[in-house]
C-alpha cells in the first residue's frame, strides 16, 4: 500500500486532481520495518521514531499492534492520523476515540468510495427488507491476516443497526451443523490468489434474491481513498471522522 500511495502522489494527473481542493500532496517520509536503504523520492525509515521531517498527516496501513506508538507519535507531532488498518478490537477503538479528543483521526474499515456506497445500499436494503435472510461473503489475497475482513464486519454492523430484529453473526458453516436459524447473519471469508478485495451482500427471500457486490480491481482504489482522506483531514480540528463525514452523507432512518 505504501508503494501504491507513493506512485499515485508522484503521478502528475493524480496530484492535480487532489490539489483541486487544497495544496498538492507531498510525501516527506515513509516508515517500513523492512526498510533496506532503497533509493526513493523520500527518506524511508525502519522505525517511526526515526522520522524527523515536518509532517501534517500520517497515513497508516500496517497492523493493530502499531496503534499505541502511532497515537503517541501523532500526538507528539501535532499531526492528523488516517487509520487504514483493520483488525482493531474494542480496547483499540476506545483508545482511538480517546486520542481523537486531542488530534484529528480519520478511521475507516475500507477507503474505497465504492465500498462506502455498498455499505449505504446494504443499510437501506436492510431497513426495507427487515426479517429476510442475509449473508455476506468476502474474498481477499492469500496473505491477508484478518478474517473476516474489516469491511465485511462493517457491512454486518450497518445491517444489524438497520434491522428491526437483533441478528446473530454466524462465521462460516461446517458439516453436521443445524440448518440456518431465524435471525442469523452469515459471514464468510475466502482467501487465495492476489484478489484485492471482493464483497457481496445477499438478501435472500422466498422466491427471490437481491445481491449487492463490489469488486476492487487493484489496491490503487484504497490508496486513492486514503490520500483523499489525508487531504480532507489535514485542516480539521481534533475529532474522530469517517467516510460519511468526508462524503457528507446524511444518515436517516
Task: Read off the CATH number of the domain in which 146 is found.
Answer: 3.30.360.10
Average pLDDT, whole number, for the chain?
89
User: Is 252 contained in some domain?
Assistant: no
Strand 239-241 versus strand 198-205 pairing type: unpaired
* Count of structural domains, the chain: 2
pTM across the whole model: 0.77
If one compares 138 and 146, the residue with the highest pLDDT of the two is: 138
83 within 8 A of 107, measured Cβ to Cβ: yes
178 and 92 in one domain? no
228 and 198 in one domain? no
Lowest mean pLDDT among 34-38, 39-43, 86-90, 124-128: 34-38
Span 169-192, pLDDT tens digits: 999 988 988 999 989 999 999 999
81 within 8 A of 74, measured Cβ to Cβ: yes
30 and 49 in one domain? yes
Instruction: Provide long-range contacts, Cβ within 8 A and 24+ apart, for 35-38.
Output: none
* Residues with catalytic function: 140, 144
**CA separation for the pair 53, 229 (Å, rounded):** 21
CATH value at residue 11: 3.40.50.720
51 and 25 in one domain? yes
Helix or strand holding residue 170 (H, E): strand 168-171
CB contact set of 119 (below 8 Å; sequence gap of 6+):
154, 155, 158
39 lies in which domain range?
Answer: 2-111+219-246
90 and 28 in one domain? yes
Res 84: pLDDT: 92
**CA separation for the pair 50, 69 (Å, rounded):** 12
CB contact set of 6 (below 8 Å; sequence gap of 6+):
27, 30, 40, 41, 42
Q: Which three cell numbers stand for residue 125?
A: 436494503
Amino acid at each position: 500500500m505504501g508503494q501504491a500511495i507513493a506512485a499515485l502522489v508522484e503521478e502528475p494527473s493524480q496530484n492535480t486532481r487532489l490539489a483541486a481542493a487544497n495544496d498538492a500532496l507531498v510525501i516527506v517520509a515513509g516508515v517500513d520495518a523492512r526498510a533496506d536503504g532503497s533509493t526513493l523520492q523520500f527518506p524511508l525509515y525502519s522505525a517511526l521514531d526515526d522520522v524527523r521531517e515536518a509532517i501534517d498527516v500520517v497515513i497508516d496501513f500496517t497492523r493493530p499492534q502499531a496503534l499505541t506508538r502511532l497515537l503517541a507519535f501523532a500526538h507528539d507531532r501535532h499531526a492528523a492520523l488516517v487509520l487504514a488498518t483493520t483488525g482493531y478490537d474494542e480496547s483499540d477503538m476506545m483508545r482511538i476515540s480517546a486520542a481523537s479528543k486531542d488530534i484529528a483521526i480519520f478511521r475507516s474499515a475500507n477507503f474505497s468510495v465504492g465500498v462506502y456506497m455498498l455499505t449505504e445500499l446494504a443499510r437501506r436494503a436492510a431497513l426495507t427488507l427487515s426479517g429476510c435472510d442475509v449473508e455476506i461473503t468476502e474474498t481477499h489475497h492469500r496473505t491477508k491476516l484478518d478474517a473476516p475482513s474489516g469491511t465485511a464486519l462493517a457491512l454486518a454492523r450497518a445491517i444489524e443497526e438497520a434491522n428491526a430484529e437483533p441478528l446473530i453473526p454466524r462465521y462460516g458453516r461446517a458439516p453436521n451443523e443445524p440448518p440456518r436459524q431465524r435471525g442469523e447473519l452469515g459471514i464468510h471469508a475466502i482467501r487465495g490468489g492476489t484478489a484485492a478485495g471482493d464483497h457481496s451482500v445477499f438478501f435472500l427471500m422466498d422466491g427471490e434474491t437481491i445481491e449487492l457486490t463490489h469488486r476492487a480491481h487493484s489496491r490503487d482504489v484504497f490508496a486513492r481513498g486514503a490520500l483523499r482522506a489525508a487531504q480532507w483531514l489535514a485542516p480539521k480540528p481534533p475529532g474522530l471522522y469517517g467516510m460519511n463525514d468526508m462524503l457528507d452523507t446524511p444518515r436517516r432512518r
